Structures are given as structure tokens and as C-alpha cells.
Amino acid sequence: MSSINGARTYVAAMCAGMMQNALDLAVDYGRDRTAFGRPLVEHQGLKWSLSDVATHIAALDALVGKAAQLIDAGEDAVLAAAHAKKLAGEVTIPSITACMQAMGANGLREEHFLGQHLAAAKIAAFTDGSTEMMKERIAAQF
Ligand SMILES: Cc1cc2nc3c(=O)[nH]c(=O)nc-3n(C[C@H](O)[C@H](O)[C@H](O)COP(=O)(O)OP(=O)(O)OC[C@H]3O[C@@H](n4cnc5c(N)ncnc54)[C@H](O)[C@@H]3O)c2cc1C
């Protein structure tokens, strides 16, 4: 258990990496693919959806960075690691799904690995403590 905060932070960082990879794929794809005379990424609805993914990545990066700093400094990282892993458990699957949606049926192709990312995101939400247990850790500080 002495290394659990590091493990939770590491899992959250993996989720941020999967989301970034999914976003990069969706943006690259959407620049090339046109619909109704414009690249997909120029359609407002799609841009907004992908901008939400970018916000989730930025928020998770910040929480992971804070938890990692505390761990490196040998300080108490229970709360920071729980915040990072909780957010990862809540936003990774919807974010990867949004990126798949932006790529149409092409997002389902095995070569993009988004299906594997989805399965890994579900696994990540259990390993080293479920999302519900992260909520318990956070609420224990009240
Ligand atoms: C890839 C992987 C690697 C793992 N590695 C390890 C390892 O190295 N060491 C180890 O010990 N374990 C490991 N685990 C186990 C992991 O920690 C558990 O799967 C996780 O803690 C959830 O426990 P459980 O599966 O027994 O679900 P359960 O405890 O049966 O819970 C089922 C569901 O109920 C929810 N729940 C349970 N209690 C409450 C409550 N009080 N309030 C609200 N909701 C609740 C849970 O969040 C979950 O959604 C690993 C799991 C995975 C997927």
C-alpha cells in the first residue's frame, strides 16, 4: 500500500496519454476528411466536442503533475493522487468515445487502437482502486 499513490498517479497519466493520442488522431483525421464542403474539424459541433477532450487532458495533466511533485518530494499525496485518478476514471472513456465519434466508422478500425484504448480506460477505472474508492478517499478529507 505504500506505493499506491504512485500507482494511482501513474494510471491517471496513462489515461491522459490515451486521451491525447485519441485527440491527435481525431484532429489529424478531421483535417483531411471533408463533409459538406469543409474539413470535419471546421464544423463547430465537432470542434466543441474535441475542445472538451482537450480540456479534460489539460485538467488531468495538472492533477497528475501535482500528485507526482508531492510523491517526488516524499510528501502526503493521498488526496492529490485520488483527485487525479478520479478524474481519469470519469473523463477518459467519454473523451475517447468523442474522438471515435469524430472519425466516423473509421474510428473503429483496429489500426487506430481506439477500441483498445477504450478497454484499457475501463480497466484503469478499476485497477489500484475504483472511481468510487477515489471518491471515498477524497470525502475522507472533509
Ligand atoms: C488490471 C488490474 C490490475 C490489478 N492489480 C491489482 C494488484 O496488483 N493488487 C491488488 O490488490 N488488486 C489489483 N487489482 C484489483 C483492483 O484493485 C480491484 O479490481 C478494484 O479495487 C475493485 O475491486 P473489485 O474488483 O473486487 O470490485 P468490488 O469491490 O466487488 O466492487 C464492485 C463495484 O462496487 C463498487 N463499490 C464497492 N464498494 C463500494 C462502496 N462502499 N461504495 C460505492 N461503491 C462501491 C466498486 O467501486 C465497483 O464499481 C487489479 C485490477 C485490475 C483490473
Nearest CA to ligand 1 atom 16: 127
Which class would CATH give 2-139?
A: mainly alpha
CA-based nearest residue to 67, from 137, 139, 140: 137
Q: Which residues on adjacent β-strands are paired with residue 35?
A: 38
Q: By the 8 A CB rule, do 120 and 46 touch?
A: no
**Residue owning grid cell 474539413:** 39
pLDDT tens, residue by residue, 89-105: 999 999 999 999 999 99
Give the start-to-end residue ranges of the domains of the chain. 2-139
Cβ atoms 98, 23 nearer than 8 A: no
Alpha-carbon gap, residue 30 to 32, rounded angstroms: 5
SS (H, E, C) 68-97: HHHHHCCCCCHHHHHHHHHHHHHHHHHHHH
Q: Quick one: how many helices (H) and strands (E) in the chain?
A: 5, 2
For 120-141, write each residue's pLDDT tens digit: 999 999 999 999 999 999 999 9
Ligand 1-lining residues (CB < 6 angstroms): 123, 126-130, 132-133
- Residue 1 is predicted with a pLDDT of 80
What residue owns the CA closest to ligand 1's atom 11? 128
What are the average pLDDT values for consecutive 10-residue runs of the chain, which has 142 residues? 94 98 98 97 96 98 98 97 98 98 96 97 98 98 94
Best residue for ligand 1 mutational test, from 116, 131, 133 (most atoms within 8 Å of Cβ):
133
